[in-house]
Amino acid sequence: MRIGFTSVDVERLLASPRTTARAAPPAPDALPEPPVCTDEVASPSTTSDVLLQHLLDSLDHALILLDGADRPLRLNRMAIELVDARRAPVVIGPVVEPCRPADRARWSAALHTARQGIGGLLVLNAPSGDVMVAITPLGGAGAVMVSFERLPLCEAVAGHAYRRAIGLTEAESRVLDGLLRSLSPKRIAQRHGVAESTVRTQIRSLLTKAGCRGVRELVLHVSRLPPVGDRR
C-alpha cells in the first residue's frame, strides 16, 4: 500500500517534531513527546500533523516512517502495539533495525534501494515468526515508510466494523476468521468443538448476509475492505 506523500509533505514532516502516540520500548527517550501548542487556536501545521497521525492510525498495517538516517519519525498505533507486545520484527531505538542480526544486511540494502526510488519487500524474523515487510520511498530527503503485513481480520478494526455492518453473530464471526485462514469446515468445527454440519449452516448464513455466492467470493470481498479507524 502506498500513501501519496509529495516531496513537500516529506520536507514538512522531516522539519516537524517527531511524534508518536506514546514512546515504544526499548528506548522510550528516542521518540520525543508530541509538541504542545500554547496558542488558543491550533496552527495549520499543528492541525496537519494531528490529521496525519490520525490517518496513519486508521490503517490496519503497522507503519513506521524513517528519516534519511534510519531514525524513527513516526509510528502509527498498530506499530506501537506490535512493539509493546514484542511481536514486531524491528527494534525501535535511536535508529530502527531488525531484531535478528542476520537480517540487518538485507534490511540496510532494502533501505538503500528505497532511497534510490525503488521500493521492495523482505521477510524479517520477529519473536512471533516471520513477518513480510514493505519498504516504500516517500519521495524526498531520504525518508521511507516501513509497513508490516496486514493483521488478520480478527485483529483488525475493519473486521469488527464489517461484522457489525452485516450483523454477524459471534459464532459466524469465528467461522469467518477460520475461512480467512484457509481452514476447512471440518477443521473449524474441531477448533470450536461443534459439529461440521453446524459450521456448514453458519457458512450458508454468513454468505447470505455478505451477499456472496461462495467462500472464494467472500474471501475476495473481505480482502477489499477499506481501513476503518476508531478513537481509543
Q: Please give the grid coordinates belonging to residue 2.
A: 502506498
2 in any annotated domain: no
Does the predicted TM-score (pTM) go above 0.85?
A: no
Strand-strand pairing, 120-126 and 129-137 = antiparallel
How confident is the model over 166-194, as a mean pLDDT? 90
For 63-82, write each residue's pLDDT tens digit. 999 999 999 999 988 888 88
Q: Which residue has the higher pLDDT, 27 or 47?
A: 47
Residue type (1 letter), 150: R
Q: Please give the grid coordinates belonging to residue 101.
A: 542480526
- What pLDDT does 1 receive? 38
- What pLDDT does 69 receive? 93
For 10-25, write each residue's pLDDT tens digit. 455 445 554 444 444 4
The answer to whether 168 and 205 are in contact (CB under 8 A) is no
Domain count along the chain = 2
How confident is the model over 141-170, as a mean pLDDT? 78
Strand, coil or helix: 43 = coil
Least confident of 49-58, 66-75, 200-209: 49-58
Average pLDDT value for the chain: 79
Domain that holds residue 127: 7-148
Strand, coil or helix: 169 = coil
Check whether residue 137 and residue 186 sit in a common domain: no
The domain that contains 66 carries what CATH number? 3.30.450.20
The domain that contains 202 carries what CATH number? 1.10.10.10
